[in-house]
Structure 1
């Protein structure tokens, strides 16, 4: 798991002047510092000391490439000024004596705080400078203590929801660092992962509601009651990603999948079922089968495919696919909820038709006669990057005529909150009547995600 940390950057008078110039010009700053060990993907809080020994700013840091022999580049972003007057001496005198020596060393000369010193400094700064709460509250002992009280089911749910959001951001090309700003704000389990993001607090803002209503394809979900929402914006590309957690959607039972991706630009759906791999001493991780649940899920996928295959492509350029098979299985380690990470769980994406061949292959037989999938015998698969590239370009997935019927069916499911049988008429021309509607009681949960701008737009639903 990604371990957060803190770095004290002490500026000379000359560098301090350049620092302020950089803030006015680009709101970012980089400094060459002595090499220090810290994972590039892990959160790094940076305290900036001016030449007079006062903490002038707080920022998000990231260890960059080597800046010279035994030196690293320290990149600073989201730089905020301190309103409370705090000096290095205030911090040194304020921390417990057991960590005072290392804290004194870092606040006098700069450098990376030890994990224990990091905890003490963060708690002290959060108490003395309340304006820093948005930046460091999630690292305080009180927040960590609340997180530790969550039961296993709550943590698993948060992990699955975070994985969905992170994957959607990967597909849309959105920077995932905002996911590291997640914080548990009270002692009760959050209703969704989105509730811990600062973006979710904007959902009642009238401007954002109006913007969300103008996103193509979004109108059919804005009537969903009791929905949590978050808006992510990529400042460089202008791409917006709207995430809505809509409760009580029965999509998994009907499709046999956990996630549904929709590339709205090219009208293509991809549906993914996650399967957890178990630790194995010899192979690292394996998925053992046959598994009753997977067999039932595949049966639902096959029924779904039977229906959409009644609709053929119309030969347009947007219809072109390398393969129009929409179903994939993702085999990966069990998802762990790590609020400090913005990564997507590594794993293997396997097309459903390829899985069916693998399942019957002799190479799947283990030393004790059981069947198992591992990295050593899968032979071919898509990793996160290659899968994202294929989905983003709509090189795989349903064709336009199939997607139009699926989209209409999903609108009905989302609007009514009820399971609706998916069926396609056998007439040649698809129209609005092609998806028959048979309502039966069955309620579950779903996650809807959509990205918009010039980049392809996506929808993800998660049960």
Structure 2
């Protein structure tokens, strides 16, 4: 993991994390957002002036990745690269060696939840995201396991798309964490067999 940041981490409200598995040509791009302490730990997407531009960028990345997919590629539960993570307001993001707690959403799931009546705050129909009202999300354990096993993320993506996303992150003044996995990958069946045998 590497951490590249132009801004003091404690002042960052939006950051990017990029996981790239060179062996499986799989990219996962996570857009970090902070829950708002002054709003009782909720995130109000309609009050985030930068969100629409960020979602436009994430949709474009997803469309580009879809063009690279082939019928014989590895199966993915979610083949789009774009994810959003909402973190507690007191969290310092990002850190290269610590995963702060939070809620992970695929970009599509996040946009669907913005239309979900269960997330309305009762005051004029404003939508808010928080641990108390979001019906489903991935936590750190579930998300990292899916990334590790290659069940989410792109297929057939080379380093050029990774370079593009790193460049865009810097141009937007975001903090950036990059995780890179290279070399041969042991099949999950073999890893599980070794764990069961105590090896």
Above 0.5 in TM-score?
yes
Matches within 5 A, 1:281-430: 285-290=41-46, 291-316=48-73, 319-334=74-89, 335-336=91-92, 343-369=98-124, 370-400=126-156, 403-404=157-158, 407-411=159-163
Which of the two has higher C-alpha Rg? 1
Distance in 2 (CA, whole Å) between partners of 1:262 and 1:413 is 11
Distance in 1 (CA, whole Å) between partners of 2:99 and 2:27 is 20
Assess if the C-alpha contact under 8 Å between 2:18 and 2:179 holds in 1. no
Distance in 1 (CA, whole Å) between partners of 2:58 and 2:162 is 16
Q: Could you list the per-position Cα deviations for residues 169-197 of structure 1 after superposition, in whole angstroms to 9, with x for gaps in the alignment?
A: xxxxxxxxxxxxxxxxxxxxxxxxxxxxx
Distance in 2 (CA, whole Å) between partners of 1:307 and 1:314 is 16
**Which has a greater percent of strand?**
1
Q: Could you list the per-position Cα deviations for residues 348-374 of structure 1 after superposition, in whole angstroms to 9, with x for gaps in the alignment?
A: 001111111110111111132222111
Q: Does 1:450 align with 2:180?
A: yes
CA 1:274/1:413 → structure 2, altered by over 3 Å: closer, same or farther?
closer
Unmatched 5+ stretches in structure 1: 1-152, 161-251, 420-441, 457-463
The count of aligned residue pairs is 172
Assess if the C-alpha contact under 8 Å between 2:81 and 2:154 holds in 1. yes
Distance in 2 (CA, whole Å) between partners of 1:258 and 1:310 is 23
TM-score by length of structure 2 reads: 0.72
Q: Could you list the per-position Cα deviations for residues 317-360 of structure 1 after superposition, in whole angstroms to 9, with x for gaps in the alignment?
A: xx2111202111101113238x9xx6421100011111111101
Matches within 5 A, 1:136-155: 154-155=8-9
Higher alpha-carbon deviation: 292-301 or 302-311: 302-311
Distance in 2 (CA, whole Å) between partners of 1:413 and 1:375 is 29
Unmatched 5+ stretches in structure 2: 1-6, 187-199
Assess if the C-alpha contact under 8 Å between 2:20 and 2:162 holds in 1. no
Higher alpha-carbon deviation: 264-273 or 303-312: 303-312
CA 1:451/1:301 → structure 2, altered by over 3 Å: closer, same or farther?
closer
Assess if the C-alpha contact under 8 Å between 2:33 and 2:84 holds in 1. yes
- 1:451 offset after TM fit, Å? 4.2
Distance in 1 (CA, whole Å) between partners of 2:164 and 2:98 is 33
CA 1:447/1:330 → structure 2, altered by over 3 Å: closer, same or farther?
closer
Assess if the C-alpha contact under 8 Å between 1:263 and 1:391 holds in 2. no
CA 1:301/1:267 → structure 2, altered by over 3 Å: closer, same or farther?
same
Matches within 5 A, 1:32-51: none
Kindly indicate whether structure 1 or structure 2 has the higher relative contact order, using CA contacts under 8 Å at least 6 residues apart. 2
TM-score by length of structure 1 reads: 0.33
Distance in 2 (CA, whole Å) between partners of 1:350 and 1:286 is 15
Matches within 5 A, 1:17-32: none
Distance in 2 (CA, whole Å) between partners of 1:386 and 1:267 is 21
